[in-house]
């Protein structure tokens, strides 16, 4: 069991990571988890605290943003293919959820990477130029 003072310090550390930009990227999240482990707080408990503090302080967690966009793509994929309109829907979800913390070209790159990682291909009535230009 972790002492209340260590837990409180850890909560403050989480809030500090998102203090300047209201955004917890993957590197900050990893650093938080490492500090949690060093203080005998399990990864699961640390993740729960990150989400709790993010909700309280209005912080954005990069992992959650990516998960939301991936869910849109997963719901859209048909026969292993995604059309431009569905890609743009995922882009809009990502852009809104990240609150402008990630530039548009990087969002598109991340979505393209998600597609490639999952074996989803671009499709379209008028070709896939929209995809290849990313």
pLDDT tens by residue, 61-108: 999 999 999 999 999 998 899 999 999 999 999 999 999 899 999 999
| Average pLDDT for the chain | 94
Q: Any alpha helices (H) in 18-121, and if so which ranges?
A: 26-38, 43-57, 62-76, 84-97, 104-118
* Predicted structure pTM score: 0.85
| Residue 126 or 39, more confident | 39
Q: Which residues pair with 121 in a beta bridge?
A: 81
Distance CA 108, CA 80 (A): 19
Per-residue tokens: 81: 């293919």
User: Where do the structural domains in the chain lie, given as residue ranges?
Assistant: 4-58, 62-132
pLDDT higher than threshold 80 for residue 122: yes
């Amino acid at each position: 069991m972790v002492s209340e003072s260590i837990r409180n310090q850890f909560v403050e550390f989480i809030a500090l990571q998102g203090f300047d930009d209201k955004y917890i990227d993957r590197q900050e999240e990893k650093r938080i988890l490492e500090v949690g482990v060093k203080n005998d707080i399990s990864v699961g408990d640390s993740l729960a605290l990150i989400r709790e503090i993010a909700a309280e302080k209005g912080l954005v967690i990069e992992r959650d943003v990516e998960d939301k966009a991936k869910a849109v793509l997963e719901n859209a994929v048909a026969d292993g293919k995604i059309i431009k309109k569905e890609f743009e829907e995922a882009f809009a979800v990502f852009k809104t959820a990240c609150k402008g913390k990630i530039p548009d070209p990087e969002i598109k790159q991340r979505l393209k990477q998600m597609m490639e990682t999952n074996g989803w291909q671009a499709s379209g009535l008028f070709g896939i130029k929209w995809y290849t230009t990313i």
